[in-house]
Structure 1
Amino acid sequence: METVSLTINGKKIVTEKGKRVLWAALENGIFIPHLCAIEENPLPFGSCRLCFVEIEGKKEPVASCTEEVTDGMIVDTRTESVLRLVRMAFKLIMSRHPIICRECPANKKCALQDISREMGFKLKPKRLPQILPDLPVDDSHSLFTYNPNLCVLCGLCVYICNEIVKEAILDFNFRGFITKVGTFKNRPLAESKCNSCLKCVEACPVGALSRK
């Protein structure tokens, strides 16, 4: 295995050549917030906009889930410009996410709670009104529930279902503010050809997909 050396937040690390900065950091105990990244995906979504970092020699912050490590690279995850971008991205996500942690099936194992704790961000956004979705919960499947009101549209379940499990049951439906994850023609999960593998539930970083 060919390796490269780089520095992240002053810490020198050695990692596999071709690995993306996000995974190199996480494997070495350096937290970078993220929701939509999955290491197996050769073409990361880069949609949550939470994993920005600054790399010496680049004019602007870049998404660490899409940036490959190079030998001698110097990365900073906590610059003022990075924190400003990440904080705003987090606020936008939380502006449409109900804060019902005590009732949520992902309480204490939620990626949003992890980001809030590690980054020092408030879960409830200040000076940004919450416009919460009010969508019907799909409780039709015998093994799990899908609550689209808790979904952060990270796309992990869509990727897992389509590219890993190869079932192609889930996808993004509609556009804009009413975008949601769902089945073909937005039918109930019980009416789909879901094989009940529960890989989508395991991948969900919040409480949108949960076991019964």
Structure 2
Amino acid sequence: MITLTVDDRTIEAPEGSSVLSACLAAGITIPHLCWLEADTPADAPAACRLCFVEIDGFREPVTACTVTVENGMTVHTGTDAVRNLQKTALKLLLSVHRVDCKHCPANKACALQDIARFLGVGLTCKPFERVLKEPDVDPRHPVLDYHPNRCVLCGLCVRVCRHRHGKSQLSFAGRGFETVVGYFDADPGAAADCLSCRACLDVCPTGALVVRTGDDG
């Protein structure tokens, strides 16, 4: 086991663990959206830019999901620099997010709500301008509806499907602001299995994927 210090607390973690997984296992909260429990520091995408920490000996804050624990490492999860980066990352995510919690199926179980509450901020994107995609709902998947303006592009749905089935029925498409999760180059015959699997629905942190009304039997 590796021994490290996090916020003046000594914790242990298996060799090869990420700082993020070590902290979460010890009950230390670090905001994150795109991390899967199976991720190693080498394959963590660090896409959400929320899990910043400061580590003694590092010149600047780093993403906790991509750093491997080392004996004697000293980690700080709540410095001003860390919180400023996390708040900015959250605002950028909210700048392309339709904040309509009352009508969202993820309301009160939404990762964005939890992160905003943890950081002590509202669901506002100021000073950034909110820009939304069109159309608001993509119905091209045979049994699921995709809401791009709820999606935070964490990639969890794409990756969990690949882990579960070997090939993902979902993938990223587009570039920049136009990036979406889509049903491209997938096996139409496998779509019926989506309703029994539901892994992508369960892992989505913001309710961006939902079963199409009337298709769930």
| Counterpart for residue 20 of structure 1 | 18
Q: Contact between 1:158 and 1:171, CA under 8 Å: does it hold in 2?
A: yes
Aligned residues: 207
| Counterpart for residue 146 of structure 2 | 146
| Counterpart for residue 163 of structure 1 | 163
For residues 192 and 208 of structure 1, what CA distance do their matches in structure 2 show? 23
For residues 141 and 209 of structure 1, what CA distance do their matches in structure 2 show? 10
For residues 45 and 189 of structure 2, what CA distance do their matches in structure 1 show? 25
Name the SS of the counterpart of 1:30 in structure 2: coil
Q: TM-score, normalised by structure 2?
A: 0.88
| Structure 1 segments (4+ residues) deviating >6 Å | none
The alignment yields a C-alpha RMSD, in angstroms, of 2.0
| Counterpart for residue 51 of structure 1 | 51
Q: Contact between 2:141 and 2:183, CA under 8 Å: does it hold in 1?
A: no
Confirm or deny that 1:193 pairs with 2:190: yes
For residues 55 and 47 of structure 1, what CA distance do their matches in structure 2 show? 20
Unaligned regions of 5+ residues in structure 2, if any?
none
> Where do 1:1-212 residues align within 5 Å?
3-42=1-40, 43-139=43-139, 144-184=144-184, 191=188, 193-194=190-191, 195-196=193-194, 197-211=197-211
- Partner amino acid, structure 2, of 1:59: R
1:12-70 CA-partner distances (Å, limit 9, x unpaired): 11121111111111111211011111121330111110001000011011100111111
User: 1:184/1:140 Cα in 2 relative to 1: closer, same or farther (>3 Å)?
Assistant: closer
Q: Contact between 1:170 and 1:183, CA under 8 Å: does it hold in 2?
A: yes
CA deviation after TM superposition for structure 1 residue 192, in Å: 6.4
For residues 73 and 9 of structure 2, what CA distance do their matches in structure 1 show? 11
Bigger CA drift: 49-58 or 12-21?
12-21
Q: Contact between 2:52 and 2:62, CA under 8 Å: does it hold in 1?
A: yes
Name the SS of the counterpart of 2:181 in structure 1: strand
For residues 9 and 18 of structure 1, what CA distance do their matches in structure 2 show? 21
User: 1:192/1:127 Cα in 2 relative to 1: closer, same or farther (>3 Å)?
Assistant: farther
Q: Contact between 1:53 and 1:62, CA under 8 Å: does it hold in 2?
A: yes
Q: Contact between 2:140 and 2:183, CA under 8 Å: does it hold in 1?
A: no
Name the SS of the counterpart of 1:150 in structure 2: coil
Q: Contact between 1:169 and 1:192, CA under 8 Å: does it hold in 2?
A: no
1:52-110 CA-partner distances (Å, limit 9, x unpaired): 10000110111001111111111001111111111111110000101111111001111
1:101-137 CA-partner distances (Å, limit 9, x unpaired): 1111001111101101111122112222111222242
For residues 158 and 139 of structure 1, what CA distance do their matches in structure 2 show? 17
